[in-house]
A and B are shown apart, each in its own frame.
Chain A
Amino acid sequence: MERFINELRAENAALNKKAAQLRAESKGDEAVFCTVRANVYDICATVCGVQAKRGNIDGFAAMLTRFEGEWGAALEAAKKQNDAKKICVEETKLEALADVRARFRAARAE
């Protein structure tokens, strides 16, 4: 799991760097979305680290499912309010979460 967590931390660092670059290119909104994506990797790395220490790696899988439910509900609410920025933020979070889940599955299969 350590390699998986390091992967998430590396992704977070790369995305934060990209966000700074986007900001410098006057792409402010995309920089915000990139930071949101980076935060998902950061949160997941932290949560996974805690669960791994407790020896409860299934707890991490359960957390991913919980995040998916909460962010999915937030996306639906944003769609109802026709809030374009919130829709994009929630979709970005869910995209990043799907990537984390795929990487987690691959790490567990190893």
Chain B
Amino acid sequence: MMERETAIRIFKCLSDASRLNILSVLQSGEAYGELLAEKLGLSASTLSFHMKKLEEAGLVTSRKDQYYTVYALDQALTKLRLSELIGGENPQEDETQKREEAYRKKVLDAFFDGEKLRQIPVQRKKKLIVLQKIAENFTPGKVYEEAVLSGMIEQIHPDYCTIRRDMISEGILTRENGRYTRVK
């Protein structure tokens, strides 16, 4: 995965018609700086500026050939798909996920004593976390008879009726003819 900062640097570098023209010429093979400048109608200093930007973005490599500089495309980078360039991890999303996970752990630690639920949370957000934890005891898609399901919940908390009802209203379980299935 490409780092976001690298991707931004590449996109910034590519948002210039002259630099795209340079890359287009280099697609057919390496070229001397002087030749590139002449082909694209750029002054030596302007070409040098563009090449520096392209090199910094990692799109182009250069080597010295006596007094001249020869430029070439960095094939590995220029052959990347757009999705590979933009698909890097979003650090903000990571941070949000970490925060949510920490909150989930805090709620579970507060309401569970081992496998036993101390009390059913009143706050919906906390209750949902607790119900999802209880739901982990059921295999998704598997059909449970009411007595079996109630017995399993009762092992966790005596008020199995409330928990079972809440799991249905939250869409965690479905009920059909007195039989229950975990949906998520």
Tally of contacts, chain A with chain B, CB under 8 A? 38
Assess the B46–A88 pair: CB atoms within 8 A: yes
CA of A7 to CA of B53, assembled, Å? 35
CA of A78 to CA of B177, assembled, Å? 80
A20 CB, min distance to chain B CBs, angstroms: 15
CA of A95 to CA of B50, assembled, Å? 18
Q: What does DSSP make chain B's interface, helix, strand, loop or mixed?
A: helix
Known: A84-B48, A92-B46. 8 other contacts (CB 8 A): A26-B15, A27-B16, A27-B17, A30-B18, A33-B46, A84-B52, A84-B53, A88-B45
Assess the A29–B15 pair: CB atoms within 8 A: no
CA of A108 to CA of B45, assembled, Å? 30
Residues of A within 8 A of B52 (CB): 84
Question: What is the number of residues of chain B that contact chain A, defined by CB distance less than 8 Å?
Answer: 13
User: Quick check: is A17 within 8 A (CB to CB) of the other chain?
Assistant: no
Contact flags A18-41 to B (C-beta < 8 A → 1, else 0): 000000011111100100000000
- Give me the interface of A with B, judged by CB distance under 8 Å: 25-30, 33, 84-85, 87-88, 91-92, 95
